């Protein structure tokens, strides 16, 4: 018997505001209805030699909430108490009673109540698993309590709540929101508009003349400035909940190539201004918007059906020296290397320990648990070296930087015969030779025309070619002026 009927009336409030008729209606359905169900089930089960009765309560009966729904909470508390007593009274008759205590479930009723992304995220911050439960997951809980597999279970408050009722604090997860088409168009548009007091403003360049007067140069501002109040509110809320700093990314990429443009030279964001600036300045983000599915077989269908999301995670100051990239082929770890292109002397002495720790972590926690047999895994090990943390997953393809490997040797690696390696820079000279002393993402700091013009030549050759190109351009402009004057 599954007593699963109940209401939460929209006029249910606190002790002062809840009307008596709302209280009585809630108790009649949620408590008296369960009592009637149990009463008649007991009569039938005595004749059949026993059975299982499941009464739906709620996690709110186990913990307090600052959002008042007093009649509902009291009624579910009554269901818990009634179920426990019935379990004791009828235990020797082989009639079992248990309460099912669901957490927040993705039902039409709850989704209508949590009708904005901000409201949903406000609720999910309390759920350790970081998501709403599904109705089928409650059904599986009820099925277990109804089956012989739970034959020695009675008088239990059976929680299916994603860990909510056990949480003191929840893990720092992430905030995310689906980006509307208007925001994607904003990211794709020319010019930079950044939020100022909640409203994006046009960026301008000021030139100070000899009379200390400023002349402002800017494109003509649009008649309607883009506004995204829900996104900006979500960013501010995430910054507050994540102790003052967040790390932004879209579905696949973070704007790492644009970190140079921020005052901190990092991806730490403390305001919507920071997030907008990074997203607008990043070629990685632009690539995701237009070319994320270029290598997919069904790229046309996939691109049209995949929504874009802004994801914000808590900012951590990681030590670049302890970030490592792992290459997995046919579900086997075939190579590890450091991610940061610098030489760290201390890594040489602990290399074997790090390799064992990363290998054990992969075997125990990742292998056969990821949705692909070929992928690239980025991990981080704190300086105390007690744990390994997952940073990101990447595709096993040339679109992912192979760092100290080449994709040719990774593709040829035979998991049956070849031995995996752990590669680090063994000297500063090796690191300098590998990186050629170029700053990370240097190409993204220059106009694309300049990069195309360089064509991989030396600095001297490139400078000479650039000078010729500029002279040619100046000569062309002069010829145009003569044509116009004639």
Tens of pLDDT along the chain (486 residues)? 999 989 989 899 999 999 999 999 999 999 999 999 999 999 999 999 999 999 999 999 998 877 889 999 999 999 999 999 999 999 999 999 999 999 999 888 888 878 876 677 778 778 888 789 999 999 999 999 999 999 999 999 999 999 998 876 666 667 778 888 888 888 888 776 676 654 455 555 455 455 555 545 454 554 456 688 889 888 998 888 888 899 999 888 889 889 888 888 899 999 998 999 999 989 999 888 888 887 777 666 655 667 888 999 888 888 999 999 999 999 999 999 999 989 999 999 999 999 999 999 999 999 988 888 999 999 999 888 888 999 888 889 988 899 999 999 999 999 999 999 999 999 988 888 876 545 566 555 655 555 555 555 555 565 566 566 666 655 655 555 555 554
Q: How far apart are the two ends of the chain, measured CA to CA in Å?
A: 97
Q: How far apart are CA 249 and CA 91, in angstroms?
A: 55
CB–CB of 160/145 below 8 Å?
Answer: no
Instruction: Provide the pLDDT for residue 300.
Output: 65
Distances (CA, A) of 458 to 98, 444, 462, 463: 76, 18, 6, 8
Instruction: Provide the pLDDT for residue 474.
Output: 57
Torsion angles phi and psi, residue 99, rounded to 5: -100, 135
Q: Which residues pair with 333 in a beta bridge?
A: 328
Q: How far apart are CA 441 and CA 258, in angstroms?
A: 8
Catalytic residue list contains 72 = yes
Distances (CA, A) of 64 to 44, 61, 67, 230: 36, 8, 9, 29
How would you classify the pairing of strands 2-3 and 51-56? parallel
Which is catalytic among the residues 36, 72, 316, 362? 72
Q: Half-sphere exposure of 221 toward its Cβ, with a 13 Å CA cutoff?
A: 13
Instruction: Provide the pLDDT for residue 230.
Output: 87
Q: Which residues pair with 34 in a beta bridge?
A: none
CB–CB of 311/176 below 8 Å?
Answer: yes
Q: How far apart are CA 232 and CA 343, in angstroms?
A: 40
Q: Which residues pair with 202 in a beta bridge?
A: 193
Instruction: Provide the pLDDT for residue 448.
Output: 53
Q: Which residues pair with 177 in a beta bridge?
A: 310
The edge-to-edge listing of strands for the beta sheet with 389-395 is 389-395, 375-380, 323-329, 332-338, 421-423
Distances (CA, A) of 140 to 76, 158, 164, 334: 21, 12, 18, 39
Task: Name which of 293, 358, 298, 286 is nearest 322 in CA terms.
Answer: 358
pTM of the model: 0.54
Neighbour-count burial for 146-176, b at 16+ CB within 10 Å, e otherwise:
beeebeeebebbbbbbbebbeeeebeebbbb
CB–CB of 376/325 below 8 Å?
Answer: yes
Angle at CA of residue 239, ends 130 and 291, nearest 5°: 75
Percentages of the chain per state (helix, strand, coil), in multiples of 5: 45, 15, 40
CB–CB of 82/26 below 8 Å?
Answer: no
Provide CB contacts within 8 A for 308, sequence distance 6+: 178, 179, 184, 250, 251, 288, 289
Residue 93 DSSP label: G
Category of 376 on φ-ψ map: left (φ > 0), alpha (ψ -120 to 50) or beta? beta
Q: Of all helices (H) and strands (E), which one includes residue 310?
A: strand 309-314
What does the DSSP assignment read for 219-283? PPPPSS----HHHHHHHHHHHHHTTT-EEEE-SS---GGGGGGSTTSSS-BSSHHHHHHHHHH-H
Contacts 24+ apart (CB under 8 A), 229-233: 229/198, 230/116, 230/117, 230/118, 230/177, 231/177, 231/179, 231/183, 231/272, 231/310, 232/195, 232/198, 232/272, 233/118
Q: Half-sphere exposure of 259 toward its Cβ, with a 13 Å CA cutoff?
A: 15
Instruction: Provide the pLDDT for residue 415.
Output: 93
Instruction: Give the chain's length.
Output: 486
Q: How far apart are CA 426 and CA 84, in angstroms?
A: 66
Torsion angle, alpha carbons of 81, 84, 89, 91, to 10: 170
Q: How far apart are CA 159 and CA 152, in angstroms?
A: 17
Angle at CA of residue 300, ends 299 and 301, nearest 5°: 95
């Amino acid at each position: 018997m599954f007593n699963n009927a109940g209401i939460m009336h929209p006029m249910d409030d606190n002790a002062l505001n809840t009307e008596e008729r709302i209280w009585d209606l809630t108790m009649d359905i949620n408590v008296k209805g369960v009592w009637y169900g149990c009463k008649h089930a007991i009569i039938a089960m005595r004749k059949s030699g026993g059975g299982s009765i499941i009464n739906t309560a709620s996690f709110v009966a186990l913990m307090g909430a600052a959002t008042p729904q007093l009649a509902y909470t009291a009624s579910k508390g009554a269901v818990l108490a009634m179920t426990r007593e019935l379990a004791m009274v009828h235990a020797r008759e082989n009639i079992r009673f248990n309460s099912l205590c669901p957490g927040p479930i993705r039902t039409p009723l709850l989704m209508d109540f949590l009708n904005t992304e901000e409201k949903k995220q406000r609720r999910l911050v309390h759920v350790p698993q970081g998501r709403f439960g599904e109705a089928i997951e409650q059904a599986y809980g009820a099925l277990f309590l109804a089956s012989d597999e739970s034959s020695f279970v009675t008088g239990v408050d059976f929680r299916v709540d994603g860990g909510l009722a056990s949480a003191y604090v929840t893990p720092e997860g992430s905030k995310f929101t689906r980006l509307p088409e208007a925001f994607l168009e904003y990211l794709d548009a020319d010019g930079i508009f950044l939020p100022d007091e909640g409203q994006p403003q046009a960026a301008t360049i000021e030139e100070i003349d000899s009379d200390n007067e400023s002349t402002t140069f800017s494109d003509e501002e649009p008649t309607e400035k883009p506004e995204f109040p829900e996104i900006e509110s979500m960013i501010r809320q995430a910054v507050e909940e994540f102790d003052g700093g967040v790390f932004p990314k879209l579905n696949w990429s973070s704007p790492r190539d644009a970190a140079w443009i921020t005052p901190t030279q990092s991806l730490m964001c403390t305001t919507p201004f920071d997030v907008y600036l990074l997203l607008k300045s990043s070629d990685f983000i632009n690539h995701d918007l237009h070319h994320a599915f270029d290598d997919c077989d069904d790229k046309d269908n996939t691109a049209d059906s995949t929504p874009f999301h802004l994801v914000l995670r808590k900012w951590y100051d990681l030590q670049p020296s302890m970030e490592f990239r792992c290459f997995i082929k046919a579900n086997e770890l075939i190579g590890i290397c450091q991610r940061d292109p610098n030489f760290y002397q201390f890594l040489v002495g602990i290399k074997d320990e790090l390799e064992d720790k990363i290998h054990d972590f992969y075997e125990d926690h990742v292998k056969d648990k990821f949705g692909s047999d070929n992928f690239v895994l980025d991990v981080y090990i704190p300086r105390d070296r007690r744990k390994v943390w997952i940073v990101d997953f990447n595709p096993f393809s040339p679109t992912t930087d192979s760092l100290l490997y080449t994709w040719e040797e990774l593709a040829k690696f035979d998991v049956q015969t070849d031995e995996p390696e752990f590669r680090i820079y063994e000297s500063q000279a090796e690191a300098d030779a590998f990186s050629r002393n170029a700053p990370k993402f240097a190409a993204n700091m220059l106009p694309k025309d300049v990069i195309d013009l360089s064509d991989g030549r030396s600095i001297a050759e490139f400078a000479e070619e650039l000078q010729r190109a500029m002279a040619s351009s100046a000569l062309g402009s002069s010829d145009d002026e003569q044509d116009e004057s004639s």
